[in-house]
């Protein structure tokens, strides 16, 4: 029983100071959990997620971008209706 308790204490100690443990330092995700911009595979425009045009894009045709640079680098232009950043 003492051996098990020692292993448990050692395990908790290692987890406390490990970057992968429950008590390790919180790491921020570089990927946004919700898309910032949405486009269709068959369109030339990207939209804000709340744009009415996004509702018409079927799921299998939907492309998401986390920033304007990704959308413009992929060849998309901003929607004139919802006016996401990047409008010239």
pTM score: 0.59
Residue for token pair 């308790």: 5
State what percent of residues in the chain have pLDDT above 70.
62
Whether residue 57 contacts residue 26, with contact meaning beta carbons closer than 8 Å, is answered with no
* pLDDT surpasses 80 at 30: no
pLDDT digits (tens, 9 = 90+) for 32-48: 457 799 999 999 999 99
DSSP 8-state secondary structure symbol assigned to residue 26: P
Copy the structure tokens of residue 54. Answer: 């996004």
Tokens standing for 49? 């997620």
- Going from N- to C-terminal start, the domains of the chain cover 37-78
H or E stretch at 2: helix 2-17
60-87 pLDDT, tens digit each: 999 999 999 999 999 999 999 999 987 5
Place of tokens 């996401």: 84
């Amino acid at each position: 029983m003492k051996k098990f308790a020692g292993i448990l204490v050692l395990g908790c100690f290692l987890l406390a100071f490990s970057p992968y443990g429950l008590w390790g330092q919180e790491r921020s995700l570089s990927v946004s959990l919700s898309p910032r911009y949405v486009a269709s595979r068959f369109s030339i425009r990207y939209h804000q997620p709340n744009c009415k045009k996004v509702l018409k894009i079927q799921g299998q045709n939907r492309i998401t971008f986390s920033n304007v640079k990704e959308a413009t680098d992929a060849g998309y232009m901003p929607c004139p209706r919802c006016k996401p950043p990047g409008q010239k």
